[in-house]
Homo-oligomer: A and B are copies of this chain.
Amino acid sequence: MGRAASDKRERLVAAAARVLHEQGVEKTTLADIAKAAGVPVGNVYYYFKTKDQLVEAAIDAHAEGLRGLTTALDAHGGPTERLKALVAGWVDQRELAARFGCPFGSLASELDKRDDGLDRAAAHVMEELISWAEKQFREMGHDTDARELAIALVASYQGAALLTNTLRDPDVMWTQGQRITAWIDSLADHRAEEVSA
């Protein structure tokens, strides 16, 4: 595989991730993606055998982006700061969420209607996010309910993103982000209180 080939493939995947977010999986045609990537329609099949494979590549791109984010967060601060930074990143994307919802959540929601492997691929990415958050809560001293808290965190965000989108109001995400941040802070006291007690 040559250099130019990889370049077009990357452009297709990047365009797919963006357009699938904006339009949804079922409404998006290969022509839409090809046009956004600046690639002739029929040529898509040189890089991807089916539309589903292109969707899967877009999911993988989300997975890599998530890994890049969590790796960057792992480099600085403590678990509480890392979780709050995660939320802050979500709040920063509130304008996008108001227009199209959470880039990955709306994708997962749509893929969940399917029986093929694509729904499980999306589930795996979501699981990675939850696991990372779970690890942070465990570091904060929440040994027994770390996973429950991680799910509560991600659920709060996903629900806030859905309402932000449905109500077309970025302020919803901002307000809920404040709530979630305060909630994380209240959990940060957990170990400190036990230690000082």
Contact = CB atoms under 8 A, between A and B. Distances in A.
Interface in A152-171: 152, 154-160, 162-163, 165-168
A26 interface: yes
Contact of A166 (B27, B123, B168): B123
Interface size class of A (residues with CB under 8 A): 35 or more
A128 interface: no
B176 A126 contact: no
Contact of A152 (B112, B165, B179): B179
Given A101-B109, A155-B159, A126 B166 contact: yes
Interface in A127-142: 127, 130
Interface string A6-35: 000000000000000011111100000000
A36 interface: no
B163 A158 contact: yes
A133 to B, nearest CB: 12
Contacts of A26: 24-27
Interface in A100-159: 100-101, 105-106, 108-110, 112-114, 119, 122-123, 126-127, 130, 148, 151-152, 154-159
B148 A179 contact: yes
Nearest to A26: B26
Given A23-B113, A113-B27, A126 B163 contact: yes
A172 interface: yes
A130 B126 CA distance: 27
